[in-house]
Amino acid sequence: MIRIAVDCMGGDHGPSVTLPACAAFLAAHPQARLLLVGRPEVLSALPPGLDASRCTVVPAAEVVEMDDPVEVALRRKKDSSMRVAIAQVKDGAADVAVSAGNTGALMAIARYVLKTLDGIDRPAIATQMPNAAGGATTVLDLGANVDCSAEHLLQFAVMGSALVAANGRENPSVGLLNIGEEVIKGNDVIKRAGQLLREAAARGDLNFHGNVEGNDIFKGTTDIVVCDGFVGNVALKASEGLASMIGAFLREEFGRGWHSRLAALVAWPVLARFKRRVDHRRYNGAALLGLRGLVFKSHGSADAFAFEQALRRAYDAAEARLLERVQRRIARAAPLMATPSGESPAATPL
């Protein structure tokens, strides 16, 4: 049995999205139980499709809004659905928590409530992006850390390797995001991170491929791409922007005049297959790694289908015992991962 604490109030749409997603998810996962966290008056009437026998409502009076500053979410809303969901993991009542709320608040609360693992200075956010090799590339960090040391990048590589291994890909390859493949490229932090990653690979702690460039994320050159949160966030959002633009252009061209509309009709099955392949909703659900408990983040704008994917990812991670895998890998790589003395391990919130 896997127990998921769901922040039902989070995201742009709240319960109107999270509850239908929970219903669909439970129907497909007979071994799952859900803790539905949120305002009791909202959760008193569960939708008809939801298997209530496997759900427990956990009341939380407040909601972290999408634009709440981290301080407000952390200090003033102590009974928020987000915080109560994470507390279920801390207390052992749930194996994993899922929220579509404000990323900065989620990371700060998760860090505050759960604390970081020994050997990890900074938790990271990892997500998957589809690649041309037919699989997905796991990219981290995606915005939790805007200034990273070489040791942080090594920590991300170790945690990312545990995540991908938990997904069934043993000994996944790691690429270091850079502006060229040669060892001499990049700034000092990147060069030193490359050195640490090579040492870790030589010790058998991970499978380091070398430097990769932005296009390698979508080529699928490596299973994992490691970068600081600023770069990862820009790459992710630029990709989202480009994909939207291309989608809009395609729709516009297929809507331009009667011949184009006829062509769209004829090409419908092809376009539907294409759309399914590039559907970013299938990749929804980012892991917060490096904490003493499992937390997954859904895109704030997720619809029920997308939110269900985040629930699936959380379920799979809990089932594959991701937390223990991360801890084992960190313990093994610990000698290389220590932050140079003098640096405070303070998080830079989003």
Binding site for a copy of itself (CB under 8 A): 130-132, 143, 146-147, 177, 179-180, 185-188, 213-219, 227, 229-231, 233-246, 248-250, 253-254, 256, 259-260, 262-264, 266-267, 269-271, 273-274, 277-278, 348, 350
- Altogether, the residues listed in the chain come to a count of 350
Minimum CB separation from a copy of itself for residue 276, in Å?
10
Minimum CB separation from a copy of itself for residue 15, in Å?
26
Contact 55, 26 (CB under 8 A): yes
Minimum CB separation from a copy of itself for residue 69, in Å?
9
Q: Which is nearer to a copy of itself, 239 or 339 (CB)?
A: 239
| Residue 297, both tokens | 């983040």
219: left (phi over 0), alpha (psi -120 to 50) or beta: alpha
Residue 100 phi/psi, 5-degree rounding, is -105, 15
Q: What is the CA radius of gyration of the chain?
A: 21
Minimum CB separation from a copy of itself for residue 173, in Å?
17
Q: Is 248 helix (H, G, I), strand (E, B) or coil?
A: helix
- Other CB atoms within 10 A of residue 300 CB: 15
- Cα–Cα distance between 279 and 229 in angstroms, integer? 24
Q: Encode burial over 257-275: b for 16+ CB neighbours within 10 A, e otherwise.
A: eeeeeeebeeeeeebeeee
Query: CA-CA-CA-CA torsion for 247, 253, 256, 260, nearest 10 degrees?
Result: -110
Q: Which is nearer to a copy of itself, 277 or 328 (CB)?
A: 277
Bridge partners (DSSP) of residue 126 are: 140, 287
Q: Which is nearer to a copy of itself, 136 or 320 (CB)?
A: 136
Minimum CB separation from a copy of itself for residue 81, in Å?
23
Q: Which is nearer to a copy of itself, 295 or 350 (CB)?
A: 350
Q: Which is nearer to a copy of itself, 219 or 282 (CB)?
A: 219
- Cα–Cα distance between 107 and 87 in angstroms, integer? 13
Minimum CB separation from a copy of itself for residue 254, in Å?
6
Minimum CB separation from a copy of itself for residue 148, in Å?
10
- Cα–Cα distance between 8 and 38 in angstroms, integer? 6
Q: Which is nearer to a copy of itself, 16 or 348 (CB)?
A: 348
Minimum CB separation from a copy of itself for residue 149, in Å?
13
Q: Which is nearer to a copy of itself, 237 or 328 (CB)?
A: 237
Contacts of 34 (CB under 8 A, 6+ apart): 3, 4, 5, 6, 22, 25, 26, 54, 55, 56
Q: Which is nearer to a copy of itself, 56 or 239 (CB)?
A: 239
